[in-house]
Amino acid sequence: MAEYEIFNPNEEFDDEGNNHEGHRWRNIIIIAVIIAIGVYLLTGVYQVGPSEVALVKTFGEYKSTAGPGLHVHLPYPVQSHVIVDVRTINKVELGFRTTSTGRTPTYSSYTDEAEMITGDQNIISIEAVVQYRVNDPVAYAFNVIQGYDLVKSTSESVLRERVALSELENVLTTERDQIAMETAERVQSILDSYNSGILIQNVYLQAVTPPEPVVPAFDDVNNARQDQQTAINEAQRYGNDIIPRAEGEAQRILNDAQAYAYEQVAKATGEAERFKALLEEYQNSEDITRKRLILDSVQQMIKNSKIQVVSEKGDTLNFLDLSEFIGGDAQ
């Protein structure tokens, strides 16, 4: 009996198709595994920006810090990283919010944050800006959950406390910068006690105004204060003008008086010396000196004088101008 095999073409084609299908799925699975492994390995590759640092953790524990650039660590969950911006100056706005930052920025007010009570029980509206940055990335990343909220709540609390220690007028005028400075110092002290790794750069009180309903009254007070200052300035200007003049006049009078005194003293001294000389002359030649004195006296008497000679009967005789004979200038 002859043996033979019945040829079935459909059965051959089915075996080849199953083989091709099996190879295709196997290749797909291999590629998927490779991709999955690649994706898994890529979890260890990370990029750090110019103003940032990366804190590398091994099984959740901090191990090292990486600076800006491309870095690689072991894939998750063996190692992971946290990126912290340590150079950017962050800003917290109290009492307002910046709604647009174009050429003409716009703002919106937050009255609940802005209004505060002063030490003399008045309400004042304060809009402040707090600038801060991260100076300790490890402390900031592992001790602080929401850095912005922490700075905002701390700054608002400290500012309200400080404003409550001052009177309204002082907050509006003289103590404005002092309040900002003391607020920054107090906020920094509190954040340091939290070991937050946050450094307060500045606190600005950019708008300090009275509440809206009392603005006209404050304007009147300010106008009156400006008028007062104007009057004070004018008085000082007048005083600065008149006082030097008075002092100069007083000094001139004093100089004149001293000059007159010197002149009189000199004249008296000269007269005394002349009298002494005359006395000496008189003692040496009494008759001649007496005659000379008489003649000098007569000459002095008739000098610059017109003399009328009256007779015993009261008749006026002819006018005789003796100055013509003695060379005087009388008329």
Instruction: Spell out a b/e string for 154-191, using b for 16 or more CB atoms within 10 Å of the CB, else e.
Output: bbbebbbebbeebebebbbeebeeebbebbbebbbebb
Phi then psi for 53, rounded to 5 degrees?
A: -130, 155
pLDDT at residue number 13: 55
Q: pLDDT at position 35, please? A: 93
Q: pLDDT (tens digit, 9 = 90+) per residue, 180-215?
A: 999 999 999 999 999 999 999 999 998 898 877 777
Q: Is the pLDDT of residue 226 over 70?
A: yes
Q: What is the mean pLDDT of residues 147-162?
A: 95
pLDDT at 330 over 50: no
CATH 3.30.479.30 fits 90-210, yes or no: yes
pLDDT of res. 9: 58
Alpha-carbon span 128 to 203, nearest angstrom: 7
Q: What is the DSSP string of 160-173?
A: HHHHTTS-HHHHHT
pLDDT tens for each residue of 13-66:
566 667 777 788 888 999 999 999 988 888 889 999 999 999 999 998 999 999
CB 180 within 8 A of CB 128: yes
